[in-house]
């Protein structure tokens, strides 16, 4: 076995991975709350894999009520060294047609009041979010999509909205003006929390629709998203398999492994 333990957070339509060897669902407790589900543990090739369905098996948990702190904490406790998140997104860009995969490299967080930090209650830390994803994981994910036979655009700005309703046409056009290229409901605060947990994080987005900014296309509805996710689920599973199998045996350290080194403000004598 190599020294990678990859946490996979599966989005809508991705509730298990069939390529896992020795699969076992394991309950992981977190003091932050209830993770979305048990974690499916196993191996793919030389890599340990810990898979968490973001919305729970059967899709029981809405984006606004997801406990991302519990999810990230549970993956950390399950020994993850890195996280690959997979999500359905709407496209805000002509070039990103439904069916395409995209690696996200920036976020605009327009969620409202979700708990988005592990810090602040007697212990203050400010991590950098300037570059919110892990470059090497993202590049690796894009290559894995190609190896699985899909098409992937590298680098896109993700607008995280609160939901659960989809956007109005005016909002959708506004987000395009802001420079957002894809839109989803779950990438934030997940990416922030992964950084605070010192877990390198990449977000592989699967475009399911053109949201509602495009006059010549029907506005998004949940049927479109689920149909497209179903079409792409096989490709997503093969991408995850290719991703794990192509990781080098040796995991060289990432600067994100030490994201808190210069981030903590609270004086040592004031910490519990
Ligand atoms: N997830 C998939 N498509 C979406 C859209 N258009 N808006 C928000 N989240 C989405």
Residue nearest to atom 4 of ligand 1 (CA): 90
Q: Report the distance separating Cα 89 and Cα 158, nearest Å.
A: 9
Secondary structure class of 243 (helix, strand, coil): helix
pLDDT higher than threshold 90 for residue 16: no
Please say if 34 is a catalytic residue. Answer: no
Q: Report the distance separating Cα 127 and Cα 33, nearest Å.
A: 22
Average pLDDT over residues 95-116: 96
Q: How far is the CA of 209 from the centre of ligand 1 (A)?
A: 7
Q: How far is the CA of 161 from the centre of ligand 1 (A)?
A: 9
- The contacts of residue 85 (CB under 8 Å, 6+ apart) are 8, 9, 11, 54, 187, 190, 191, 201, 202, 203, 204
Q: Report the distance separating Cα 267 and Cα 118, nearest Å.
A: 17
Q: Is the pTM of this model over 0.90?
A: yes
Q: Sign of torsion, CA 240 243 245 249?
A: negative
Q: How far is the CA of 90 from the centre of ligand 1 (A)?
A: 4
Q: 83 exposed, middle or buried (CB, 10 Å; 0-12, 13-18, 19+)? A: buried
pLDDT higher than threshold 70 for residue 128: yes
ipTM rounded to 2 decimals = 0.99
pLDDT of residue 272: 65
pLDDT higher than threshold 90 for residue 15: no
Average pLDDT over residues 214-223: 86
């Amino acid at each position: 076995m190599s020294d990678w333990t990859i946490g996979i957070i599966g989005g809508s339509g991705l509730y298990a991975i069939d390529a896992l060897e020795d699969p076992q669902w394991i309950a992981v407790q977190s003091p932050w709350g209830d993770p979305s589900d048990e974690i499916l543990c196993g191996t793919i090739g030389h890599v340990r894999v810990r898979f968490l369905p973001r919305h729970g098996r059967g899709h029981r948990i809405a984006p606004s009520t997801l406990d991302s702190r519990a999810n990230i904490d549970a993956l950390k406790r399950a020994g993850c060294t890195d996280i690959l998140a997979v999500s359905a997104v709407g496209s805000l860009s002509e070039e990103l047609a439904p069916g395409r995969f995209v690696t996200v490299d920036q976020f605009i967080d327009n969620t409202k009041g979700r708990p988005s930090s592990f810090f602040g209650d007697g212990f203050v830390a400010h991590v950098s979010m300037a570059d919110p994803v892990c470059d090497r994981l993202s590049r690796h994910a894009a290559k894995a999509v190609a190896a699985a036979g899909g098409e992937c655009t590298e680098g896109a700005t993700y607008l995280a909205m609160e939901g659960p309703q989809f956007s109005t046409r005016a909002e959708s056009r506004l987000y395009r003006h802001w420079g957002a290229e894809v839109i989803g409901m779950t990438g934030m605060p997940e990416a922030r929390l992964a950084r605070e947990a010192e877990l390198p994080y990449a977000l592989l987005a699967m475009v399911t629709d053109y949201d509602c900014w495009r006059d010549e296309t029907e506005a998004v509805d949940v049927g479109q998203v689920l149909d497209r996710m179903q079409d792409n689920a096989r490709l997503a599973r093969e991408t995850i398999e290719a991703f794990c199998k192509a990781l080098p045996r040796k995991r060289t350290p990432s600067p994100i492994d030490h994201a808190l080194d210069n981030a903590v403000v609270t004086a040592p004598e004031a910490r519990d």
